[in-house]
Amino acid sequence: MERRPKLKVKLTPMDKAIEFTGLFTLLFMWGLAIYYFFILPDTIPIHFDASGKPDGYGQKATIFILPFTALIIFIVMTLLNKYPYIFNYPVNITASNALKQYTYGTRIIRYLKTAIIVIFTIILLFTYLTATGKSNGLSNWFLPSMLALLLIPTAYFIAKSYKIEK
């Protein structure tokens, strides 16, 4: 097994902004869930199919599943980001490229963490809107746009990671 340098990556203003956005959105999601719990009907949609239509229903207490899951994801990904030398990189990590690779590696984890929380918040909002009759589910744009939100930046950072090597 290769020995990788154990470096600490300093947060740039962009990294701090991404972290703040993720934390703020997580707190906002919890606030929405608590508020919605008191005004939702007893039965709410708990699952949407690929076209965005609700296809599963459950008790309104399930409104807390998304914020709880988001909290776990936030904590785990934040802890994971403290150890960038354990990540799987598309190139060999050397003393000369480690800091740049670790910076990109931690940034994509930070970005994905925030994107997942934003996606969960949108689903929570549409759960409320659907349960109260203000919407008939997620729209057709939801799945493709959320996939793009996750995959395009991931591809970008992988490409940047390869460019460091050249």
Query: To 10 degrees, the CA torsion angle through 130, 134, 140, 144?
Result: -70
Quote helix, strand, coil % in the chain, to nearest 5: 65, 5, 25
pLDDT digits (tens, 9 = 90+) for 148-164: 999 999 999 888 888 86
Cα–Cα dist 5/39, whole Å? 52
pLDDT digits (tens, 9 = 90+) for 83-114: 999 999 888 888 889 999 999 999 999 999 99
- pTM of structure: 0.91
Tell me the β-bridge partners of 48.
54
